[in-house]
Amino acid sequence: MYELYNNYFDVKDEIMWRVAIYVRLSREDEKDEKYKGQSESIENQINFLKKVVQNKGWILVDTYKDDGYTGTNFNRPDFQRMIEDIEKKKINLVITKDLSRLGRDYIETGSYIEKYFPSKNIRYIAVNDNIDTFDKKNSNNDMTPFKSVINDMYAKDISNKVRTAMLTKAMEGECIKSFLPYGYRKDEKNKILIDENVADIVRQIFRLYKSGKSKKEIADYLNDLGIMTPLQYKNENTNYFNPNKNNTYKWNSTVINKILRDRIYVGDLVQLKYTKVNYKVKKTVKVPEKEQIVILNHHTAIIDRSIFETVKEMLDKQMNEWNFSGRKKHLLAGLVFCKCGSRITYNLNHGKFSRCICSSYKKYGKKFCTNVHLREDELIKKVTESLRNNITKYLNMDDLDYSKLRKNANEDYKKDIIYWKKRKEDVGKIISNLYEDKLSGTISLDTFTGLIKKYEEQKKECIAKLKSLEEKLKTIKSEMSMKQEEIRDIMREILSFKEINEDNKSLVFKLIDRIIIDDKNIYIHYKFDISA
């Protein structure tokens, strides 16, 4: 191709061309078959374009290279550096190997070529596409918009292929996460393993929250001990690139909350929780839970599932957070509500709780709700007595309601299995009918080919869905069935209950759903059946 250089870019003027060579290569381009063997590496692009510049006798001001950046995003470091140099009038000619190296988004690419570059009097050349914006006689310039659209379509196709590949891997149970949450690591075969260096920190976080500590208190405790944060640990032990690596990091409530809610710690692999808006926009949106890919009991758990579920419910009810600007927390915080539906607050007198007050009454007065006159010590006494009486009278292992939960979960999966089996049968009948129609000449070969491909894909989807659901149904039974020893431990803890204190706060939470106060009367809603 080098012998053709003299035939290119014959703009007859006396301008001194100060050149910016721009090169780019995305990870997708490196992997794609289209570019294999075509010398698309950054180094080869630079060498190729330098020869063009030398051949024409132009002045090379600088080379700008973005390695590993997609063409649909123009917020690339060296591309933006080049734009800054254009604004400073350091360069007046931008050259790339082809149009796709400049970008693959046809709207933004067109905006630069047709608006920005002309407004700055910048000449643009794409060598292999024979585009030269200053050559008015060059008919290839008219093809620029069409080539940009083709490049855009290529980017979309690559994006779809990547998404499909990731979805397939996720459904097959392969971990597609680049970095695992704090407490886990991957081996050379991509298997998820417990990182014993920090796993005990995770266990401690769950223990502390379950015992009544708030997220802020846990964060302060870890900071006081000088424990490295998850981000710091990732910086030190992986190849994770963090642009703010030198910043000072502290444990905080957000980090603690993220750990406490992550199902990976009970052995479940949850993937594709977020997705990009589209292939041009980096912004991600959360995927509905039903559409996320979940593999139950995928790897070794750090946290027992019963503890995780207890903590989750405590988080949902903010039991450990209802402490009013850092003041002393009430033993029943998060469980007690007024008859109007508002939360109950607790007046402090000399550091001790004195009486219960409806938060809405406290804020809006009698127009919204009547005051709650129940003393705090009366509340604790009545709840304690009710708990002791009902534990003795009603509670046994079956009343922990795990069997009911298991039955409900099984029913949900069975309904889905029945649906997909029916769908598979229907698709099978359609495929069978298509073959008959083809043999009888009712439909053409082209029509048959198009339809059979469509329904074969649907059949594969049905088979994949059924396989996934059947595996989930199989594991849900073991997941929802607590080990006998765990049940015995819980029962021993329950039967030894005497009074409510900080140590058994999570036990009270396991047994009581909510407490309603109506003046001096209380109504306790238990999680076990007391209707018999």
Q: Taking the model in full, what pTM does it have?
A: 0.44
- 242 is a domain residue: yes
Q: Same domain, yes or no, for 141 and 25? A: yes
Task: Name the domain boundary from 288, 316, 344.
Answer: 316
Distance, in Å, from the CA atom of 505 to the CA atom of 317, rounded to the nearest integer, reads: 14
Buried b (16+ CB within 10 A) or exposed e, 465-493: bbebbeebbebbeebbebeeeeeeebeee
Is the distance from CB of 500 to CB of 383 less than 8 angstroms? Answer: yes
312: which residues sit within 8 A by CB, 6+ positions away? Answer: 260, 261
- 368 is a domain residue: yes
- Per-residue pLDDT for 508 more than 60? yes
- Per-residue pLDDT for 401 more than 60? no
Q: How many residues does the chain have?
A: 532
**The predicted structure's pLDDT at residue 86:** 93
- Looking at the structure of the chain, the number of domains it has is 4
**The predicted structure's pLDDT at residue 325:** 44
Q: Same domain, yes or no, for 472 and 491? A: no
- 298 is a domain residue: yes
Widest pairwise Cα distance in the chain: 101
Q: Same domain, yes or no, for 143 and 8? A: yes
Domain of 242, CATH number, reads 3.90.1750.20
Q: How confident is the model at residue 146 (pLDDT cuts 50, 70, 90)?
A: very low
Task: Supply the range of the domain harboring residue 40.
Answer: 2-158
Q: Same domain, yes or no, for 287 and 220? A: yes
Q: Same domain, yes or no, for 379 and 405? A: no
**The predicted structure's pLDDT at residue 488:** 61
Q: Same domain, yes or no, for 392 and 405? A: no
pLDDT in tens, 170-182: 666 677 676 788 9
Q: Same domain, yes or no, for 234 and 247? A: yes
- 330 is a domain residue: no
Q: Same domain, yes or no, for 437 and 311? A: no
**The predicted structure's pLDDT at residue 6:** 45
- 193 is a domain residue: yes
Domain of 63, CATH number, reads 3.40.50.1390
Is the distance from CB of 155 to CB of 104 less than 8 angstroms? Answer: yes
- 329 is a domain residue: no
Collapse the DSSP code of 77 into the 3-class scheme (helix H, G, I; strand E, B; otherwise coil) and give the result. Answer: helix
Higher pLDDT, 224 or 478: 224
- 325 is a domain residue: no
Q: How many CA atoms lie within 13 A of 251 on its CB side?
A: 25
Percent of the chain with pLDDT over 70: 69
Task: Name the domain boundary from 129, 158, 187.
Answer: 158
Q: Same domain, yes or no, for 502 and 441? A: no
pLDDT in tens, 47-90: 889 988 988 889 999 999 998 888 777 888 999 999 999 999 99
What's the whole-number average pLDDT of the chain? 76
Q: Same domain, yes or no, for 177 and 145? A: no
- 39 is a domain residue: yes
